[in-house]
Chain A
Amino acid sequence: MAYLTDRKRAKGLGSAKSGTAHFWSMKVSAVALLILIPLFVFTFGPALGGTYEEIMAYYGRPGPAIIAALTLLVGFKHFNDGAQTMIEDYVHGTAQKLAIILLTCLSYGAAAVGVFAIARLAL
């Protein structure tokens, strides 16, 4: 007599054991970027090409600065997740591990530099 439900008996028996966290992370950042990307394109785009003084004044405003910082932060997180999937598809063994570590350093590094620079412009 089996008291376990079908789901309970099947849980954990797959080869991956886990994996939905990565998928969900990409999905959340994708929806966030759906909002952020149009906002960023139509704030950063018109600003680009301005003089140093114009850029200082524009990114001294909270709106454009917050949009740019959030876009870089969420964008690089989404990039990191997506590029990691690509590496896992094409690179294997030690090279895969090294590539993922380098990718993670690049993504979080670039996001940190961007957010720092924008904060410095805005404050």
Chain B
Amino acid sequence: MADVNRGNRPLSPHLTIYRPQLTSMTSILTRITGNAMLIAALMIVWWFLAAASSEEYFNIANGFVTSWFGDLIMFFSVLGLWYHTLAGVRHLIWDNGIGLDIPTAEKMGWACIGGAVVLTILTALIV
């Protein structure tokens, strides 16, 4: 009888017992940034649709996207975008079985965080 006590069994230790580690934090941040960028992506699609529709509609969408609130979303999305890009490169490196030891993984984690900040500042200066 495999299902006598289904769903009411003790669980093995999970996320809650672990101290936050750089590797786990940079991992979940990759997922958070990847999914959060949906908001900016939908804003950009809306902006293109408005531009393709009429000048009045473009002014409405463009007004929102270039407002302080739109700017704020875009700024954090650029930060998330560069972080996710660098974290993606880290995954492409890992896929080859390289850099999986903890010291290297942590070094690359810091590189993702630092690199994302630097690239965001550069993007803000250039764009």
Interface residue ranges, A against B (CB under 8 Å): 27, 30-31, 33-34, 37, 41-42, 44-46, 48-49, 52, 55-56, 59, 68, 72, 75-76, 79, 82-83, 86, 110, 113-114, 116-118, 120-121
Chain A at the B interface: SS class: helix
8 Å CB contact of A27 from B34, B37, B45, B95 = B95
Interface size range of chain B in the complex: 20 to 34
8 Å CB contact of B81 from A37, A48, A55, A56 = A37
Interface residue ranges, B against A (CB under 8 Å): 31, 34-35, 37-38, 41-42, 44-45, 47-49, 51-52, 55, 58-59, 62, 65-66, 74, 78, 81, 85, 88-89, 91-92, 95, 123, 126-127
26 pairs from A and B in contact (CB 8 Å cutoff): A27-B92, A30-B91, A31-B92, A42-B126, A42-B127, A45-B126, A46-B127, A52-B51, A52-B55, A52-B59, A59-B48, A72-B41, A75-B41, A76-B41, A79-B38, A83-B35, A86-B31, A113-B48, A113-B49, A114-B45, A116-B52, A117-B49, A117-B52, A118-B52, A121-B51, A121-B52
Question: Are B41 and A117 in contact, with the CB atoms below 8 A?
Answer: no
8 Å CB contact of A34 from B51, B85, B95, B126 = B85
Question: Are B35 and A72 in contact, with the CB atoms below 8 A?
Answer: no
The answer for the CA separation of A76 and B45 in the assembled complex, in Å, is: 11
Known: A44-B44, A83-B35. 10 other contacts (CB 8 A): A27-B95, A41-B78, A46-B127, A52-B59, A52-B62, A56-B51, A72-B41, A79-B37, A114-B49, A117-B48
Q: Which residues of A contact B91 (CB under 8 A)?
A: 30
A29 to chain B, nearest CB (A): 10
Q: Which residues of A contact B78 (CB under 8 A)?
A: 41
The answer for the CA separation of A112 and B74 in the assembled complex, in Å, is: 22
The answer for the CA separation of A76 and B38 in the assembled complex, in Å, is: 9
Question: Are A41 and B51 in contact, with the CB atoms below 8 A?
Answer: no
